[in-house]
């Protein structure tokens, strides 16, 4: 490559799982979407490791190119800033997933266990290993500090019951990306009636996560 | 950025309790007035006011919530639990008139938590208790919000002292939103500060050396 | 969300700069920038504009809404209406802070703009609290929040959502039949 930085990296994304070929800019937008959704949803969302991997590939690729550029190059500093920004978003995304895994570990593992053969996995392989280890460590710790001193019939703790489940009835803020009709809003009190709302493109709403959870995973709404 | 590395388990708030929540463990120690409905043989030591070996039927005493819940059964009457005063009709009238005048810290401090837990024990008054809890929360919301959103860098102890435990937690979450924003506005985020972990670690090292 | 993260998102907005250097097109992962020619205005993201400005490599042209007359109109409208009027920009607060802190010499009447934006902000946040209170007291299940900006939502987010959660649980007390597992055995 004669001019390393003139390569716009559009050779990426040959991943077969990707239905359409995404431009790198679209890929970054996808990451941002996943980042915000993960930050604001009460439960752990499906992992987006295909996006994470593609972004990593982009970053490695760009960094490799930058290695070949001499110091003080004006373009290189701009590229480095961009890389730092993307890296920040990526780490923040992965970190917020780890936080949720720590918070809900027994339920996360349970969902993973009961998942059907062809269903997409909630966790990436690395996250799965993390969750299992976290579970084992918590159990060992509880045993060491307290449980082993209890009467024999009280030496186990049912983690699924002891650790609170994510509350899907939490409210969330969202922005509509694709118009949706007839979204059912359930009544809050006995003297209210259920009703339906249309979610216009670009409009913003405050409502229960449970109502719109499928729209988050399909990408029709964005949590904000 | 949420740099807190330890995320405490939140209290269950309603009728549920979270096993690993410190707040709920403290809540479970609140004492309830109860009446023994069948004699408890050889448990006399639990009742400090008498020196009999057994606790006879009809004894009135106080037991912590966790023990009352454990002994309580709907079908077989082992004990009956009385509503603490603050949930009884007299106080409910006060709450319904103006929930803002009540010092919930003094009356609680687990007003909502304990009130919700009381619903585990059968009582014809339960629907009214539940209704009052909800209305009190809603009635006091505006004040909790305003005080949490308007006090930046001020001594908030006067604002907080009349709040129940749950309201206090909400007050803190409102404050952290406000402080976060105002810190950002003043540009505090762009100044790097040492993490408290690092500072504490240094202190610890110093004391290690001294010993 | 930390306000700094909202600011991070605001930094993606584009702004016009007039560079004093020349540079070919830059092919960033997120899209192409430039070319840069001295004296010719060009669109760049705010994060880059601020960096160039700090290195004295450009002049920043304030966005069209960042203008005393326009902001006065918006402030008056915001005060008159009960509902939220369209914000000057989805990131008006963040951009005002960033541009006025790092490029105030490029922005005419910077101090007046700062005051006006703060006035608009205060009016809107007061409305936001009013609507939060009525959302809670009416026990609404859904609210439309067009025109609210991310920074505005963010100041009240955790407080409002935590409160709604508490209220939800206190309300489920009213249907004790639905309560799951009377006494849980761990």
CATH code of the domain covering residue C109:
1.20.58.1020
Domain assignment present for C180: no
Contacts of residue B148, defined as CB under 8 A and 6 or more positions apart, other chains included, come to B159, B170, B171, B172, B173, B174, B175, B178, C159
Would you place residue B15 in the very low, low, confident or very high pLDDT band (cuts 50, 70, 90)? Answer: confident
CB pair distance less than 8 Å for B189 and C136: no
pLDDT > 50? residue B42: yes
Same domain (yes/no): C135, C85? yes
What local confidence, expressed as pLDDT, does residue C180 receive?
41
Instruction: Supply φ then ψ for residue B108, to 5 degrees.
Output: -105, -115
Percent of chain B having pLDDT more than 90?
A: 32
Nearest chain C residue to B141 by CA distance is C133
Residue in A202, A203, A224 nearest the CB of C150? A224
Whether the bond between B75 and the residue before it is cis, its omega within 30 degrees of 0, is: no
Same domain (yes/no): C45, C72? no
Give yes or no for C134 touching B (CB within 8 A). Answer: no
The DSSP bridge partners found for residue A170 are: none
Domain assignment present for A74: yes
Same domain (yes/no): A91, A53? yes
What local confidence, expressed as pLDDT, does residue C34 receive?
83
CB pair distance less than 8 Å for C169 and B13: yes
Q: Which residues of chain B have a Cβ shorter than 8 Å from any chain A Cβ?
A: 1-2, 7, 9-10, 12, 18-20
Same domain (yes/no): C121, C156? yes
Nearest chain B residue to A162 by CA distance is B19
Check residues A209 and B48 and name the one with the higher pLDDT. A209
Would you place residue B78 in the very low, low, confident or very high pLDDT band (cuts 50, 70, 90)? Answer: confident
Number of domains in chain C: 2
Average pLDDT, integer, range B24-44: 88
- For the ranges B36-50, C87-101, C147-161, which has the lowest average pLDDT? B36-50
- The alpha-carbon radius of gyration of chain A (Å, integer) is 22
For residues A103 and A46, the answer to whether their CB atoms sit within 8 Å is no
Single residue among C9, C38, C61 that ends a domain in this structure:
C61
Same domain (yes/no): C69, C51? no
CB pair distance less than 8 Å for C144 and A8: no
Nearest chain B residue to C173 by CA distance is B130
Instruction: Supply φ then ψ for residue B79, to 5 degrees.
Output: -150, 155
CB < 8 Å to A102, chain B: 7
Average pLDDT, integer, range A134-145: 94
pLDDT > 70? residue C183: no
Would you place residue C56 in the very low, low, confident or very high pLDDT band (cuts 50, 70, 90)? Answer: very high
- For the ranges A69-78, B1-10, B106-115, C88-97, which has the lowest average pLDDT? B1-10
Does the domain spanning B85-189 belong to CATH 1.20.58.2050? yes
Same domain (yes/no): A49, A156? yes
Same domain (yes/no): C104, C152? yes
CATH code of the domain covering residue C10:
3.40.5.50
Whether the bond between C35 and the residue before it is cis, its omega within 30 degrees of 0, is: yes
> How many helices (H) does chain C have, and how many strands (E)?
6, 6
Interface test with C, best of A189, A204, A212 (most C CBs within 10 A): A204
Domain assignment present for C86: yes
Single residue among A127, A146, A164 that ends a domain in this structure:
A164
Same domain (yes/no): C161, C79? yes
| Mean pLDDT value across chain B | 83
CB < 8 Å to A89, chain C: 8
Same domain (yes/no): A66, A145? yes
Domain assignment present for A7: no
pLDDT > 70? residue C53: yes
Same domain (yes/no): C84, C137? yes
CB < 8 Å to B19, chain C: 184, 186
pLDDT > 50? residue A1: no
Percent of chain A having pLDDT more than 70?
A: 91
- Write the CA distances from C157 to B154, C56, C149, integer angstroms: 22, 38, 12
CB < 8 Å to C142, chain A: 185, 197, 205-207
Chain segment A68-112, per-residue pLDDT in tens? 888 778 899 999 999 999 999 999 999 999 999 999 999 999 999
What local confidence, expressed as pLDDT, does residue C24 receive?
94
CB pair distance less than 8 Å for B13 and C156: no
Domain assignment present for A77: yes
Measured CA angle at A50 (ends A44, A53), to 5 deg: 110
Residue in A92, A103, A161 nearest the CB of B7? A103
Q: What architecture (CATH level 2) is domain B9-82?
A: Up-down Bundle (1.20)
Nearest chain B residue to C1 by CA distance is B1
Nearest chain C residue to A63 by CA distance is C29
Would you place residue B116 in the very low, low, confident or very high pLDDT band (cuts 50, 70, 90)? Answer: very high
Domain assignment present for C30: yes
Give yes or no for A118 touching B (CB within 8 A). Answer: no
Q: How far is CA A46 from the centre of its chain?
A: 6
Residue in A79, A186, A204 nearest the CB of C141? A186
CB pair distance less than 8 Å for C29 and A81: no
CB < 8 Å to A163, chain B: 9, 19-20
Q: How far is CA B104 from the centre of its chain?
A: 10
CB < 8 Å to B19, chain A: 157, 161-163
What local confidence, expressed as pLDDT, does residue B189 receive?
62
Domain with A205, as residue range(s), is 167-223
Same domain (yes/no): C148, C78? yes
CB pair distance less than 8 Å for A85 and C171: no
What local confidence, expressed as pLDDT, does residue C184 receive?
44
Would you place residue B196 in the very low, low, confident or very high pLDDT band (cuts 50, 70, 90)? Answer: low
CA distance A63 to A67: 6
Single residue among C13, C29, C61 that ends a domain in this structure:
C61
Same domain (yes/no): A104, A38? yes
User: Terminus-to-terminus CA distance in chain B, angstroms?
Assistant: 37
Average pLDDT, integer, range B78-100: 91
| Mean pLDDT value across chain A | 88
Would you place residue B194 in the very low, low, confident or very high pLDDT band (cuts 50, 70, 90)? Answer: low
pLDDT > 50? residue A215: yes
Same domain (yes/no): C88, C155? yes
Closest CA to C34 of A5, A65, A22: A5
Average pLDDT, integer, range A51-76: 90
What local confidence, expressed as pLDDT, does residue B60 receive?
87
Domain assignment present for A14: no
pLDDT > 60? residue A18: no
Predicted model pTM: 0.87
Domain with C15, as residue range(s), is 1-61
- For the ranges A5-14, A162-171, B140-149, C21-30, which has the lowest average pLDDT? A5-14
Single residue among C61, C77, C104 that ends a domain in this structure:
C61
Mean pLDDT highest for which of A150-159, B28-37, B166-175, C40-49? C40-49
CB pair distance less than 8 Å for B137 and C165: no
Average pLDDT, integer, range C148-172: 92
**What is the secondary structure of B145-179 as a DSSP string?**
HHHHHH-SSS--HHHHTT--HHHHHHHHHHHHHHH
Number of domains in chain A: 2
Would you place residue C179 in the very low, low, confident or very high pLDDT band (cuts 50, 70, 90)? Answer: very low
pLDDT > 70? residue A213: yes
Domain locations in chain B? 9-82, 85-189
Average pLDDT, integer, range C74-85: 94
Give yes or no for B15 touching C (CB within 8 A). Answer: yes
- For the ranges B34-48, C57-71, C83-97, which has the lowest average pLDDT? B34-48
What local confidence, expressed as pLDDT, does residue A4 receive?
47
In which residue are the tokens 């003297």 written?
A: A191
Same domain (yes/no): A158, A177? no
In which residue are the tokens 């809890």 written?
A: B133
The DSSP bridge partners found for residue C44 are: C15
CB pair distance less than 8 Å for C30 and A25: yes
Domain assignment present for C184: no
Same domain (yes/no): A91, A135? yes
Half-sphere exposure of A53 (CA within 13 A, CB side): 13
Domain assignment present for C143: yes
What local confidence, expressed as pLDDT, does residue C186 receive?
46
Same domain (yes/no): A144, A175? no
Chain segment B161-174, per-residue pLDDT in tens? 889 999 999 998 99
Same domain (yes/no): A88, A105? yes
Domain assignment present for C88: yes
How far off is chain B from C123, nearest CA to CA, in Å?
14
């Amino acid at each position: 490559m004669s001019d390393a930085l003139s390569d716009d990296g559009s050779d990426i994304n040959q991943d077969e799982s990707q239905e359409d070929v995404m431009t790198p800019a679209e890929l970054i937008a996808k990451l941002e979407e996943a980042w915000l959704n993960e930050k604001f949803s009460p439960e752990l969302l499906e992992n987006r490791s295909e996006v994470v991997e593609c972004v990593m590939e982009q970053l490695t690729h760009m960094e490799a190119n930058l290695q070949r550029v001499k110091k003080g190059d004006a373009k290189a500093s701009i590229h480095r800033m961009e890389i730092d920004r993307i890296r920040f978003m990526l780490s923040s995304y992965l970190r917020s997933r780890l936080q949720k895994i720590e918070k809900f570990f027994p339920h996360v593992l349970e969902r993973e266990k009961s998942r059907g053969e062809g269903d997409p996995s909630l966790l990436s392989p690395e996250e799965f290993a993390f969750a299992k280890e976290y579970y084992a460590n918590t159990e060992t710790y509880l045993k060491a500090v307290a449980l082993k001193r209890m009467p024999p019939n009280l030496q186990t703790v049912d983690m699924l019951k002891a650790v609170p489940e994510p509350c899907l009835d939490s409210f969330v803020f969202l922005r509509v990306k694709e118009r949706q009709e007839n979204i059912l809003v359930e009544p809050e009190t006995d003297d209210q009636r259920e009703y339906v709302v249309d979610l216009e493109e670009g409009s913003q709403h405050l409502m229960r996560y449970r109502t719109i959870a499928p729209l988050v995973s399909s990408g029709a709404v964005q949590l904000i | 950025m949420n740099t807190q590395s330890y995320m405490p388990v939140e209290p269950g708030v309603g009728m549920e309790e979270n096993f690993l929540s410190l707040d709920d463990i403290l809540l479970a120690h609140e004492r309830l007035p109860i009446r023994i409905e069948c004699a408890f043989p050889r448990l006399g030591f639990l009742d400090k006011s008498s020196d009999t070996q057994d606790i006879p039927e009809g004894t009135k005493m106080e037991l912590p919530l966790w023990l009352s819940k454990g002994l309580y059964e709907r079908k077989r009457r082992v004990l009956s639990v009385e509503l603490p005063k603050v949930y009884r009709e007299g106080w409910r009238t006060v709450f319904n008139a103006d929930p803002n005048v009540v010092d919930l810290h003094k009356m609680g401090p687990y007003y909502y938590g304990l009130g919700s837990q009381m619903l585990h024990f059968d009582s014809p008054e339960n629907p009214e208790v539940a209704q009052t809890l909800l209305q009190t929360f809603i009635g006091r919301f505006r004040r909790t919000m305003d005080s949490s959103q308007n006090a930046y860098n001020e001594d908030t102890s006067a604002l907080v002292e009349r709040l129940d435990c749950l309201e206090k937690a909400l007050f803190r979450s409102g404050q952290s939103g406000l402080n976060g924003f105002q810190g950002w506005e003043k540009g505090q985020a762009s100044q790097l500060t040492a993490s408290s972990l690092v500072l504490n670690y240094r202190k610890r090292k110093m004391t290690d050396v001294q010993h | 969300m930390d306000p700094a993260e909202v600011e991070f998102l605001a930094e993606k907005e584009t702004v016009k700069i007039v560079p004093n250097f020349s540079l070919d097109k830059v092919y960033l992962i997120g899209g192409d920038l430039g070319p840069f020619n001295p004296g010719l205005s060009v669109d760049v993201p705010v994060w880059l504009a601020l960096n160039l400005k700090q290195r004295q490599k450009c002049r920043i042209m304030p966005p069209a809404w960042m203008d005393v007359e326009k902001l006065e109109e918006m402030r008056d409208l915001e005060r008159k209406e009960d509902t939220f009027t369209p914000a000057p920009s989805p990131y008006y607060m963040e951009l005002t802070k960033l541009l006025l802190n790092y490029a105030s010499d490029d922005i005419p009447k910077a101090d007046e703009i700062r005051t006006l934006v703060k006035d608009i902000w205060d009016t809107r946040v007061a409305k936001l609290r009013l609507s939060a209170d009525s959302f809670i007291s009416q026990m609404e299940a859904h609210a439309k929040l067009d025109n609210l900006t991310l920074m505005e939502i963010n100041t009240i987010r955790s407080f409002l959502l935590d409160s709604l959660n508490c209220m939800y649980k206190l309300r489920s007390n009213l249907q004790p039949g639905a309560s799951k597992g009377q006494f849980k055995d761990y």
